[in-house]
Amino acid sequence: MIAEHLQDVQKEIQKACERSGRNPGDVTLIAVSKTKPIALIQEAIDAGQVIFGENKVQELCSKYKTLPEHLQWHMIGHLQRNKVKYIADKVALIHSVDSLRLAQTIDQEGQKIHRIIPILIEVNVAQEESKFGVSVEDTLPLIQEISQLPYVQIRGLMTIAPYVENPEENRPVFCKLRQLSVDIKEKNMNNVYMDILSMGMTNDYQVAVEEGATMVRVGTGIFGERNYAQTI
């Protein structure tokens, strides 16, 4: 079942790339495994999936210990500064940096283990009060500050678009994030790469790909509806 779902999502990514004249190889699928039991994740691994996204530090650490070493783990949920030390050596990418203080903590933890930690800046494009993320206007000033930190590498931007029935409604959100990314890239700042755009989830990833997403975060579309009672 999981293998079929993965295949379906990859096909949809391919179709979205064809519609927008993109190379499907430029889009990375992150399987969002939060609250999913090891057995289901193992099914995805057996089907060839190696990149997984988690929302909670404790769950990421637990799965990191249990599952094969070749996997890549992405922190996609809100990250508290006091938890950074637990994942500094484990994450391939932190998607959810939205303050200088958090970035400074990541930098300090990276320094301790001699590792430059790749991050994305989370932008609240839709200005939803319920969501974390920096405003579009404040993104560049924040990046200018964070780019000075030697053990943090800014790889791009991330957004969580509103939940909508019709994914087309989120097209302007994705378009705005892509444009922001282009504008920042043109500044040619040191330690700022802007090669990753993490946007689009189960409900709207096809539209996100059409608008330039290089990473999509799909959970329900692969694993089915989440069961919060069943974590590990």
Please say if the pLDDT value at position 232 is more than 80.
Answer: no
Q: Which residue has the higher pLDDT, 117 or 130?
A: 117
The pLDDT score that the predictor gives to residue 229 is 47
**CA pair distance 109, 115, nearest whole angstrom:** 8
Q: What is the pLDDT of residues 169-215, one digit of tens each?
A: 999 999 999 999 999 999 999 999 999 999 999 999 999 999 999 99
Q: What is the pLDDT of residues 119-159, one digit of tens each?
A: 999 999 999 998 999 999 999 999 999 999 999 999 999 99
Q: What is the pLDDT of residues 94-111, one digit of tens each?
A: 999 999 999 999 999 999
**Average pLDDT estimate for 76-100:** 98
Please say if the pLDDT value at position 77 is more than 70.
Answer: yes
- Domains of the chain (ranges; CATH) run 2-223 (3.20.20.10)
In this structure, are strands 192-198 and 117-122 parallel, antiparallel, or unpaired? unpaired
**Torsion from C-alpha of 7, 14, 199, 208, nearest 10 degrees:** -130
Q: Other CB atoms closer than 10 Å to residue 108's CB: what's the count?
A: 16
Q: What is the pLDDT of residues 12-33, one digit of tens each?
A: 999 999 999 999 999 999 999 9
**Average pLDDT estimate for 39-45:** 97
Contact indicator for 155, 193 with CB cutoff of 8 Å = yes
Please say if the pLDDT value at position 217 is more than 80.
Answer: yes
Cross-strand bridge partners of residue 121: 97, 157
The pLDDT score that the predictor gives to residue 225 is 77
Please say if the pLDDT value at position 219 is more than 50.
Answer: yes
Going by pLDDT thresholds of 50, 70 and 90, the confidence category of residue 226 is: low
**CA pair distance 153, 135, nearest whole angstrom:** 20
Q: Which residue has the higher pLDDT, 226 or 99?
A: 99
Average of per-residue pLDDT values in the chain: 96
3-class secondary-structure state, position 200: coil
